[in-house]
Every structure is written in C-alpha cells, then in structure tokens.
C-alpha cells in the first residue's frame, strides 16, 4: 500500500472508523474470529497432515499488533470475538492478548470474548481466562474413548483434556463441546457423548467435516451428513427445534430426555450463509471474508503503515465491501482436491 502523506490524509478524511460494518448483502459484521497461531500441539487427522509446514515465526503479527487490529474491529462494531487457531493456548504469552482484549469486556464495548480450544492447556489457564472476562469456551472433543482420542488427534491425551474441562467448569466458565462427525469413527458414540455433555451442563455441537487443506486421508471416506446423524438420534431421543443462537452458525434442538441442547453445524447439507455475521483474521493479518472462499484482504500493510487507524479502517471497509454471498462447499469424489486449499488451522473453526 502507498503510504504517502497525501494518501494518509485522504484516508483520514474518508475513514469513518466508528461506522458499523455492513456488507453488500445487508449483513452486519459483528463477530470476529482470530486465528492467533497456525501451530498446534495436536495433529487431528481431519484437520492437519502429520508433517505440517507452519508459518515462519517472523511472519506473525505481534500480540500488540493483534490487539490493535482486534480493537479496530471492536470500534467498528464487532461485539463478539473468538480466539482460535491452530491451538490458541499454545501461542507464547497468549494471556497478554486475552487480558488486553478483556478491557473491552470491562468497558462493555465487547459483549463476549471467547475461544475455541482443544483443551490441552486449559487446566493451566482456566482461572486466568475467567479473570480476563472469558465466560464461555468451546472445547473440541471428538470421542470419549482414550485410545480413539489418541488415534484421531495423533498426539493428544484425553485425560489431560478432561482435566482441562474440569478446571474450566470449576473456574466458572461455561463449556460447550464440539465434535466433528466422522463416518466409521465416532458415529456410534453420539448418544453417549450427548448424555455425558448434558449431565455436566454442557451443550454439544456436531460439525460436518469440511473440505479444507490437503490431509493424508480422503475426506469423502469420513464424511457423514448430519441429517443422517439427526435421524438416527431421533430414534432414541425426542429432539425439539429451539430458536437458541450463540452468534455462530449452529442450529439447535432441545433433547427432551436430558434437558440439554444439541447443535448442528451443517456447512455441506445446509448452507447457513444467509445469516453470516462473521469475518476471520489470521495471525499474519490476512482477513478472510468467508471461511469457504479464497478471497482475502491484507490488513498487515495498512496496520504497519501508520500509527493511526485511518488506513486500517479504510482497508477493513473495502474488505467488507467484498464479502461474498456464501460458500459452496461440496465433498465430491470426482473433484479430488479440497474446496479450499488452506487448512482450517489457518483461519480457525
């Protein structure tokens, strides 16, 4: 980006950094997901290959820069912010960023600061997360069987994640479990997982596997439509649709037998784009306006071009103006390549 004083002056005049972000389809952007690192201490088979090449550390935005970027979005109307990754809690000194963002909870500008985590570091950080204003988190858990857990995560230890969940609940953080539905892996476990989650006061959300990034296996072999899962669960449980929303794309039912909530995220069988309120920021300052499309905007250059936020605000407005109507994920045996080349760990779930 040209950073001549003339352009900066023009940008300052044009930028209305407090104006809410509304995309060309009239959707307000109020939810920012931030992948703070692409690295992870697990290697879930559907998410990453075993030998991943990660970004060089020098390409990452600093935590101070991430705070500045997130704060610019909050000024522009973001009310919910989710830290994700890779594994957000393995980024060095991550609590600096969580604490810095927590100040927006204190002022009331931000309604919710949350994260999606694999739970491996939760036992260590739960109390501090609560102290920083985090009240709800999502923990990814695809199975309750320790051996299967080790197999799917390659490097994970279920007992450690369970300790993390205990610690989070003890700290007063509301935990929601997320499980990716995988054919031939956990499809028989959902009744048990549902009872487990609900007995501990946790919602459970099931997710369809999305075609993102090259992995060792063929995702079509593991793809399990949630319409099938739901029909099977309905044979055992009474599922009543409820209007409950968390700001994310899940649609929920109440399970009458347990009294708990079960969510379905169905990017493949049901396109949820019409109500999309989200954009995604990577740890290098790239903004993806849609999880399922390749178009992206570079925010690192305007961030670094000046100390003020006028150029940045203008670049954000320009990017929101390009937010597409929706994604078109399909899992297709003929089309061997993933719909989106980047892995989920780049933009976070």
In total, the chain counts a number of residues equal to 349
* Spatial contact of 240 and 233, defined as CB atoms under 8 Å apart: no
- Does residue 185 bind ligand SF4 (CB under 6 A)? no
- Does residue 265 bind ligand SF4 (CB under 6 A)? no
Min separation Cβ 348 and ligand SF4, Å: 8
- Does residue 280 bind ligand SF4 (CB under 6 A)? no
- Does residue 87 bind ligand SAM (CB under 6 A)? yes
Which residues, 6 or more positions from 104, have their beta carbon under 8 angstroms from its beta carbon? 71, 74, 81, 110, 113
Question: Binding pattern to ligand SAM, positions 197-216, x when CB under 6 A?
Answer: ----------x-xx-x----
- Please choose, out of 59-67, 82-90, 256-264, 319-327, the segment that lies near ligand SAM by the rule CB under 6 A: 82-90
Distance, CA of 278 to CA of 83 (rounded, Å): 13
The DSSP symbol for 133 reads T
For residue 92, give Cα distances in angstroms to 88, 89, 133, 253, 322: 9, 8, 20, 38, 33
Tell how strand 80-84 and strand 203-208 pair up.
Answer: unpaired
- Does residue 209 bind ligand SF4 (CB under 6 A)? no
Distance, CA of 57 to CA of 21 (rounded, Å): 31
- Does residue 48 bind ligand SF4 (CB under 6 A)? yes
48/101 with CB nearer ligand SF4: 48
- Does residue 178 bind ligand SAM (CB under 6 A)? yes
Residue 136 pairs in a beta bridge with 174
Of 15, 37, 85, 331, which one interacts with ligand SF4 (CB under 6 A)?
85
C-alpha gyration radius of the chain: 20
Min separation Cβ 192 and ligand SAM, Å: 18
Would you call 275 exposed, middle or buried from its count of C-beta atoms within 10 A (0-12, 13-18, 19+)? exposed
Write out the residues near ligand SF4 by the rule CB under 6 A: 40, 42-44, 47-48, 85-87, 118, 140, 345
Write out the residues near ligand SAM by the rule CB under 6 A: 40, 46-47, 84-85, 87, 116-118, 140, 178, 180, 207, 209-210, 212, 344-345, 348-349
């Amino acid at each position: 980006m040209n950073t001549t004083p003339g352009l900066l002056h023009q940008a300052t005049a044009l930028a209305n950094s407090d104006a809410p972000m509304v995309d060309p389809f009239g959707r307000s952007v109020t939810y920012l997901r931030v992948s703070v690192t692409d690295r992870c201490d697990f290697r879930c088979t559907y998410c990453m290959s075993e030998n991943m090449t990660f970004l060089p550390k020098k390409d990452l935005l600093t935590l101070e820069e991430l705070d500045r970027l997130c704060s610019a979005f909050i000024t522009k109307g973001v009310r919910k912010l989710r830290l994700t990754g890779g594994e957000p809690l393995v980024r060095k000194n991550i609590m600096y960023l969580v604490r810095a963002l927590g100040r927006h909870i204190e002022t009331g500008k931000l309604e919710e600061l949350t994260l999606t985590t694999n739970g491996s570091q939760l036992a260590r950080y739960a109390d501090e997360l609560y102290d920083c204003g985090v009240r709800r988190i999502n923990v990814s858990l695809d199975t309750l069987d320790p051996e299967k857990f080790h197999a799917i995560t390659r490097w994970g230890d279920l007992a450690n994640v369970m300790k993390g969940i205990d610690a989070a609940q003890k700290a007063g953080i509301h935990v929601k479990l997320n499980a990716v539905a995988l054919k031939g892996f956990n499809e028989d476990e959902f009744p048990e997982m549902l009872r487990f989650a609900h007995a501990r006061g946790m919602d459970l959300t099931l997710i369809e596997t999305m075609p993102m990034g090259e992995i060792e296996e063929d995702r079509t072999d593991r793809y399990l439509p949630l319409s099938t899962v739901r029909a099977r669960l309905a044979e055992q449980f009474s599922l009543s649709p409820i209007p409950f929303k968390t700001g994310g794309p899940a649609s929920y039912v109440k399970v009458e037998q347990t009294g708990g909530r079960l969510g379905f995220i169905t990017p493949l069988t049901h396109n949820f784009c019409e109500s999309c309120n989200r954009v995604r920021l990577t740890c290098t300052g790239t903004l993806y306006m849609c999880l399922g499309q390749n178009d992206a905007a570079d925010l690192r250059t305007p961030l670094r071009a000046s100390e003020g936020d006028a150029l940045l605000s203008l670049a954000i407005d320009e990017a929101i103006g390009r937010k597409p109507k929706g994604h078109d994920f399909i899992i297709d045996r003929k089309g061997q390549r993933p719909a989106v080349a980047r892995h989920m760990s780049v933009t976070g779930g």
